[in-house]
Amino acid sequence: AAAREAFASAGFDGATIRGIARAAAVDPALVHHYFGSKERLFVAATDLPMDPEVMLPALLAGPRDELGRRLATLFFSIWDDPHGRTVLLGILRSAVSDPRAAAMIRAIVVERIVGPLVAALGSPDAKLR
């Protein structure tokens, strides 16, 4: 929770392992022991607040031309949840403030959401779209 709050309020660039450890009332060495780096802590702290395996069937249910609406509805339902909002704020603030964070977020989204969605849609040239 301390890491999520730190990334949400300060972004990747502004959050520090020392500050996160202080907020969690633990030694910074403990954070390093379990996560190894700020980047790995960031990935763990910004884990998507939904299970893509549960989300995917719901997104695919219904007409294809309404997929965008279902995606937007999913995003806003996550935003309406306090935990989800904290994670999304951390992701957004970090992505705009640090290119490394943006690359990590992009990789997570492609791997966990876009990739499975594209595969399920089975469109020709889906990866290009």
Query: pLDDT of 34-84, one tens digit each?
Result: 999 998 998 888 777 677 778 888 888 889 889 889 889 988 988 898 888
Q: Which of 14, 15, 9 is nearest to 28 (CA)?
A: 15
Domain boundaries, the chain: 1-46, 47-124
Q: How confident is the model at residue 128 (pLDDT cuts 50, 70, 90)?
A: low
Q: What is the value of pTM for the model shown?
A: 0.65
**Residue 121: how many other CB atoms lie within 10 Å:** 13
Rounded Cα gap, residues 125 and 129, in angstroms = 7
Distance CA 85, CA 62 (A): 27
Neighbours of 118 (CB within 10 A): 15
C-alpha dist (Å) from residue 109 to 8, 20, 28, 38, 63: 18, 24, 29, 19, 23
What is the pLDDT at residue 129? Answer: 58
Buried b (16+ CB within 10 A) or exposed e, 3-34: bbbbbbebbbeebebeebbeebeeeeeebeee
Identify whether the C-beta of residue 90 lies closer than 8 Å to the C-beta of residue 48: no
pLDDT at 123 over 80: no
Does domain 1-46 bear CATH number 1.10.10.60? yes
Closest of 98, 129, 101 to residue 114, by C-alpha: 129
> How far apart (Å, rounded) are the C-alpha atoms in residues 4 and 87?
6
pLDDT at 24: 95
pLDDT of 26 > 90? The answer is: yes
Whether 127 shows a pLDDT value over 70: the answer reads no
